[in-house]
Structure 1
Amino acid sequence: MSGRKGPYECGLDAAVDIIGGKWKVLLLWALAQGPRRFGQLRRELPKISEKVLAQQLRELEADGIVHREVFDQVPPKVEYSLTGLGASLNEALAPLGAWGRLHMASLEATYPRRHPEAQHPPDAV
């Protein structure tokens, strides 16, 4: 699971704990567009592995952010959607997304300086 650290120091600590992880914010954004099946999420976020996607969805479900609905049909059908808490979290993240859009060019320009390892990938063995 997510390895929660215990009592929070402040509201920001609690929020960051919930959205921590590379993919959770992008999953929230995808689910804000409407209910999605696992395969749809994989196609919308092609760089995420199935294992990590399943783990992140389980954590978001356990935190009450995502609802998982299993339909009684053959073949089995499962859909993921945002709960009210998840929708309110997405609303809270909207200003962060706006900040990112506003500063994206300058952040991309400084990426090589912030991540020098990306310029010199390890030699193939």
Structure 2
Amino acid sequence: MEKRACKRRIKRLNITFSDGKVEYSGISSDFSCNGLFIRTRKGFSEGTILTMKLESEDGKIIPLTGTVKRTIKINISGFNISSYKTSSYKNGMGIQLTSISEEYNNFIKELYSTIIVR
């Protein structure tokens, strides 16, 4: 049985996120109508509330608020530095959006109309 309310769409965009203390950056990995995945070396604990700023391809900032639903951290000990740089962005967080703006809805509608389902 499918748990998702809507299918995911892959798109790589810059995103900043904060728990209210420090701001970090990452790369969006995939989107749905009510969530996204952020690839980053800084993963927060499940349940953490984040404010985010998604940068669209045209430079527009889309504000988001969500809760960390899962965090993936890959053990990279023993790898050389070039492997570390490549592997670090397999780490990340699955975010469930709690506040969905009209800008995000418009972004998703456009994304769904142009990208093939994963």
Is TM > 0.5 for Structure 1 vs Structure 2? Answer: no
* Higher Cα Rg, which structure: 1
Structure with the greater relative contact order (CA < 8 A, sep ≥ 6): 1 or 2? 2
TM-score (norm 1): 0.27
Higher-helix-fraction structure: 1
